[in-house]
Amino acid sequence: MTMMEWNDALKVGHSVIDRDHQKLIRLINDLGDAMSAGQGKEVCGNVLDELISYTQTHFANEERLMSVHHYADTPRHKAEHAKLVKDVLAFKAKFEAGTATLSVSLLHFLMDWLTHHILESDKALAQGIPPG
């Protein structure tokens, strides 16, 4: 079940960032598929781990671009990244402790956050650095 689809509106115009965003969307969809198929905690947990890991890799890539190109809005953009990582790692800890379950509301949160971040922060970033 495709929860989120890549489309032209989500393109920021920087090939590396766009490629990363496409992979993040695939991972969100993989998580939704695992949940819909009723796969166990271990499978869903592994997909969640991959999503978290790749998100951190993507953020590091963006932050490296910000540094190299002296992007003016770096502090705010990095703060958005840090807050999401903190929130998702807190959720993961609760999930692993058995005090939280994966739900559609988590998927909607991730989709909404990613869409908002791409359309606002990452499009602004891509305009502030040379195309990749």
Structure tokens at 26: 């695939």
CA 94/CA 40 separation, integer angstroms: 16
Q: Is residue 6 part of a domain?
A: no
Q: Give buried/exposed letters for 22-53 (b at 16+ CB in 10 A, else e).
A: ebbbebbbbbbebbeeeeeeeebbebbeebbe
pLDDT tens by residue, 86-103? 998 888 898 888 888 888
- pLDDT for 105: 83
Domain with 67 in it: 13-128
Q: Is residue 123 part of a domain?
A: yes
Q: Is residue 51 part of a domain?
A: yes
pLDDT band at 62 (very low <50, low <70, confident <90, very high): very high
pLDDT band at 19 (very low <50, low <70, confident <90, very high): very high
Q: How many domains does the chain have?
A: 1
Predicted TM-score (pTM) of this structure: 0.90
CA 65/CA 97 separation, integer angstroms: 36
pLDDT band at 129 (very low <50, low <70, confident <90, very high): confident
CA 24/CA 19 separation, integer angstroms: 9
- Res 1 pLDDT > 80: no
pLDDT band at 2 (very low <50, low <70, confident <90, very high): confident
pLDDT tens by residue, 20-34? 999 999 989 988 888
Q: Is residue 34 part of a domain?
A: yes
CA atoms 20, 22, 24, 30: torsion sign: negative
- Domain with residue 42: its CATH number is 1.20.120.50
- pLDDT for 85: 92
- Res 36 pLDDT > 80: yes
